[in-house]
Amino acid sequence: MDMVLIEGLEVRTVIGIYDWEREIRQSVRLDLEMAWDISKAGQTDNIEDTLDYKAVSKRLIDFVESSKFGLIEALAESCAKIVLDEFAVPWLRLKMSKPGAVRGSENVAVLIERGFQG
């Protein structure tokens, strides 16, 4: 199966379990691999024949910016559900990162796969 990728989509949101985290906006970063047959779009050169990664990105940005999750695990699950349900993506791998969440580390992240890879 072909893949459409979105890498390094950075969004600011309320995320975290500590009181101080509930009062600020922090950056999260999304990396997505989405199964999608791009062969028709490769032949027609028409946006209607492919997964519109701009529409996916905009939907996720809007959702994440307005969310207030405690855990990146819950935010990642909700983002995956949006992509699977609203864009008819059959399978995805989503990495949700929270840079600087642990002192001394560059990044912490969760990586999930949902749907069925064909």
- Active site members: 98
Q: Residue 115: how many CB atoms within 10 A of its CB? A: 15
DSSP H or E run through 3: strand 3-15
Q: In angstroms, rounded to a whole number, what is the distance separating the alpha carbons of residues 114 and 3? A: 14
- 64: tokens are 């994440």
